[in-house]
Structure 1
């Protein structure tokens, strides 16, 4: 059976790096990562790029260390397929930029680049390989011998164009797009060529909060808050009438969608409601990594450096998260795990799915809020707004159609599954 094909749109970040490691640790018959597209979010996009290049360098060292010590190399999909890496949005479409460096550190990995430097070569690779002035037309692999030349292909195209290129190059309904950062790259791709964007099998989104509080405001989850306009535009493509839920905007880069699109987007939303139930404890991590540190694993050393920062930050921000019982929610890795195991019947959406979930873009206190209609009202036929239904919430031919995920096959054991995969 052919491997599943995925694109990961990400803002690495701590749990983003764990999500990438989970994906790349797959067997080649399980998964092919076509593209890693980078966006601002947790940190500035230039630091996201540095983290990804560093990760590939560490993985090369790790696989060599495993070979030298007679261990299985692991990371089969990385050895079989070289993903493209593309740099994308530096800023949100319209909102004021907000980063999450208060949690992830200014470099996204708890200051790791100041203490554990994978290689001075990696900085040269970042600067030279992704310089659009060198080759503005597209992809060029780095020269043999440079960091990462066995692991990834740097692209000169902006990430949203690279997303469209990957979707054109593959048959419709064969590529899953896993979006675990702000949705800016996706919104730009959809605005430029909505029909090509709709070739995607499904979009898996980590974002939003439905019945849980937000994590950056009382109602706002970070990814939805960081670019609410982008999220609202991507969500709108799930509607039979996408323009019925588009946010108000004056940007010429964000025109209305064509009236007669060929299909609706399938979007599976992983809000805080489900991701907060998938955790990795400090005790689980310590037990797994301690013998590997003693044995000299480069990957264990690298991950331990930024995870140590993470657990200390948890202790500072959240009372009760102390010692081995402290738990880090695996928001982004659980989305990758879904893409890898989506055929498992234990994955289940909410009973009300598909739901009309819309992202608030204008509110002073409610930016990024997932708005749903909690009224018990009869649906209204037609697509004309009435005095009793401002916003077309009751129309059977308007509103979004979001598959909100609510159950997984590995809620209690996911942290251990992820660690076992990463460290093999």
Structure 2
């Protein structure tokens, strides 16, 4: 039997982020332990991300009670076995101007659900749980529908998310924790800048971001997560190099010092760019077939997810040709990264034929910010740590450059939408 995975999820929820979190939390307790959910700006502002996560836990609590009352299995075994810590992180990118994706996800990140379905949203009496200046003796409570009770599904942290990432990595055996990053990489870059050696205790970092052979989704060459904080992405990618200084981006911030000249190891980074995530989809028809009977039966989770998914499919119809009716299709960018973390032992997850690849993130280009830059020239490699006159940027050096494992083969490409629905709704 595969060993139980320990994971951190760094996220900016977000519609597909929430689906990814539900996928992880609905796993069996022997499959995974979610140690930490760290939040970053990205799709929306980080405080809205926090509100969405707290709402998700509230809905899961209601769903488990509903299932129990109706003689169904409660599900969400991983959550019932171990409460994850929730920590609030970066509010803005390291250097660039902040960009959000609320045009797709809605201003609250979930298609306006907090205004359209207020009965599904807990009142914001929980905010003090994450306030470092709040009285620690206050009871950790969440109020909804006029009722107040101690929250039992997560542990709130008053520390910044990047410090919680370092604490979790320090307190667990080196090489035992996978970090799944499905938003901008700001929290990861801050953690690595503060303590690179502790950060390198991670087993691997699974990144949803970038695009190599596909067009970008926010610019012709830029994918949203890489674009939203290109400096952070470039700094995290640099840790995969035997010589991080060879790919470290220029920076204007004193808070981002160079990495130590000598590090104990290289970071293992497993990249899920648009090239593979666009091949994992769920149609409105698939979603409707699963959720309609549950809606009719009164499932709180089905009602909540249906509310923001209705917004999603309407947005897809308005933005893209061919997304009409039941054929409207949502790419499951973030859930597929979570699924990899749960099933990494499956040998059908395969890297690109060129892996590990020297993929770098452009951090300062006028039109190319967030671009995944790959050397496609047919040139001889150079066995040297010193860049020669014909190797500006150490692109040909066998001892420098990044080492990125780009995932290209998937065991669930054609049926992942059905797997996701079955896992979440049982």
Within 5 A, what are the aligned runs for 1:65-104?
A: 65-104=66-105
Say if 1:241 and 1:148 are closer, same or farther in 2 by CA, change over 3 A: farther
User: Is there any run of 5+ residues in structure 2 with no aligned partner, and where?
Assistant: none
Counterpart-to-counterpart distance in 1, 2:185 and 2:388: 32
For residues 141-190 of structure 1, the C-alpha deviation after alignment (integer angstroms, 9 at most, x for no partner) is 82598567210000000000000000011000000000000000000000
Which residue pairs with 2:225 in the alignment? 223
- Three-state SS of the structure 1 residue aligned to 2:118 is coil
Counterpart-to-counterpart distance in 2, 1:141 and 1:390: 58
Say if 1:74 and 1:195 are closer, same or farther in 2 by CA, change over 3 A: same
Which residue pairs with 2:208 in the alignment? 206
Counterpart-to-counterpart distance in 2, 1:102 and 1:419: 25
Counterpart-to-counterpart distance in 2, 1:76 and 1:385: 53
- Three-state SS of the structure 2 residue aligned to 1:173 is coil
- Three-state SS of the structure 1 residue aligned to 2:61 is helix
Equivalent of 2:242, from 240, 243, 247?
240
Say if 1:171 and 1:377 are closer, same or farther in 2 by CA, change over 3 A: same
Which residue pairs with 2:189 in the alignment? 187
- Three-state SS of the structure 1 residue aligned to 2:187 is helix
For residues 310-352 of structure 1, the C-alpha deviation after alignment (integer angstroms, 9 at most, x for no partner) is 0000000001111101110000000000000000010000000
- Three-state SS of the structure 2 residue aligned to 1:268 is strand
Which residue pairs with 2:37 in the alignment? 36
- Three-state SS of the structure 2 residue aligned to 1:35 is strand
Judge conservation of contact 1:187–1:234 (CA < 8 Å) in 2. Answer: yes
Q: Is structure 2 residue 386 aligned with structure 1 residue 384?
A: yes
Which residue pairs with 2:374 in the alignment? 372
For residues 334-378 of structure 1, the C-alpha deviation after alignment (integer angstroms, 9 at most, x for no partner) is 000000000001000000000000000110000000000000111
Counterpart-to-counterpart distance in 2, 1:348 and 1:402: 13
1:49 shift after superposition? 0.2
Which residue pairs with 1:274 in the alignment? 276
Which residue pairs with 1:47 in the alignment? 48
Judge conservation of contact 2:114–2:120 (CA < 8 Å) in 1. Answer: no
1:24 shift after superposition? 0.2
Say if 1:410 and 1:148 are closer, same or farther in 2 by CA, change over 3 A: farther
Judge conservation of contact 1:122–1:147 (CA < 8 Å) in 2. Answer: no
Judge conservation of contact 1:110–1:310 (CA < 8 Å) in 2. Answer: yes
Which residue pairs with 1:131 in the alignment? 131
Which residue pairs with 2:140 in the alignment? 142
Farther-moved stretch of structure 1 (47-56 vs 143-152): 143-152
Judge conservation of contact 2:59–2:120 (CA < 8 Å) in 1. Answer: no
Counterpart-to-counterpart distance in 2, 1:6 and 1:340: 9
1:383 shift after superposition? 1.3
Say if 1:371 and 1:301 are closer, same or farther in 2 by CA, change over 3 A: same
Counterpart-to-counterpart distance in 2, 1:133 and 1:259: 38
For residues 23-56 of structure 1, the C-alpha deviation after alignment (integer angstroms, 9 at most, x for no partner) is 0000000000000000000000000000000000
In the superposition, the TM-score normalised over structure 1's length comes to 0.97
Supply the RMSD in Å over aligned alpha carbons: 1.5
Say if 1:284 and 1:141 are closer, same or farther in 2 by CA, change over 3 A: farther
Equivalent of 2:411, from 396, 409, 412?
409
Counterpart-to-counterpart distance in 2, 1:325 and 1:100: 23
Q: How many residues align?
A: 421
Judge conservation of contact 1:53–1:148 (CA < 8 Å) in 2. Answer: no
1:3 shift after superposition? 2.0
Judge conservation of contact 2:55–2:122 (CA < 8 Å) in 1. Answer: no
Which residue pairs with 1:64 in the alignment? 65
Farther-moved stretch of structure 1 (77-86 vs 111-120): 111-120
Counterpart-to-counterpart distance in 2, 1:304 and 1:240: 47
1:200 shift after superposition? 0.1
- Three-state SS of the structure 2 residue aligned to 1:106 is coil
- Three-state SS of the structure 2 residue aligned to 1:185 is helix
Counterpart-to-counterpart distance in 1, 2:377 and 2:204: 29
Counterpart-to-counterpart distance in 2, 1:134 and 1:267: 37
- Three-state SS of the structure 1 residue aligned to 2:356 is coil
In the superposition, the TM-score normalised over structure 2's length comes to 0.97
Judge conservation of contact 1:208–1:272 (CA < 8 Å) in 2. Answer: yes
